[in-house]
Each structure stands twice: as structure tokens, then as C-alpha cells.
Amino acid sequence: MNLLTPVTSLCFNPTSEILGIASNTVDEAIRLVHIPSFTAFSNYPVFRRKTVHLPQCMDFSPNSGFFSVANDKGKALLYRYQTHASFTVRLKHYKDF
């Protein structure tokens, strides 16, 4: 669950509640951390399904409704971001560009 490689990208969502951490040295090396509880969301990225590959950059939309990740394959992955009261995050793969 933890990243064991150097972090190459960081970004906060607009409310500074979620921190995105990524490394472009290993496939699928991306985590979202809930800052108030200092816990990583276990449901992102979806394991056993290689979609992110090597993350190059990432960001949240201005209202935190979407989370995007650009990878080494030239794709920009867009995820619909929803939070729940139990501090779980649901990221549904929305679209590839």
C-alpha cells in the first residue's frame, strides 16, 4: 500500500483535505492520502487492473469533482471524485483523453 519509490509529483485538492502522491519510476505508483486522518485510500488505484501505468502529473479540478492523471502512454485519465462521510473516496474512471 505504501510507495517505496521516490515521489515525483504532489498535489492537494482545493480544500487541502486530500494529497495526491505519485512516482514515475514504477507502474501504478500513485496514492491519495486523507490529510486529517493521515491514511491512504485503499481503493485507488484499482489493483489488478493496470490503467495508470507511469504517472507523469496529476491534479484535481477546482471544485474537487474530478481527479486527472497523465501517464507515460500519452493518455490523460479522468476520474469522477466523490467523498463520503466515512472518509472513503470513490473514484470512477470517467474518460481517457
pLDDT tens digits, 44-67? 776 567 888 999 999 999 988 888
pTM of the model: 0.80
Give domain status of residue 53, yes or no.
yes
State what percent of residues in the chain have pLDDT above 70: 80
Q: Across 1-97, where does the E strand assignment appear? A: 9-12, 18-22, 30-34, 39-40, 55-60, 66-71, 76-83, 89-96
Domain count along the chain: 1
pLDDT on residue 91:
62
Rounded to whole angstroms, the Cα distance separating 5 from 91 reads 23
Residues spanned by the domain of 59? 9-96
Q: What is the overall mean pLDDT for the chain?
A: 83
Give domain status of residue 3, yes or no.
no
Spell out the residues 6+ positions from residue 43 whose beta carbon is closer than 8 angstroms to its own.
88, 89, 90, 91
Give domain status of residue 19, yes or no.
yes
Rounded to whole angstroms, the Cα distance separating 23 from 20 reads 10
Q: Please, which pLDDT band fits residue 81 given cuts at 50, 70 and 90?
A: confident
Neighbours of 81 (CB within 10 A): 22
pLDDT on residue 36:
93
Give domain status of residue 33, yes or no.
yes
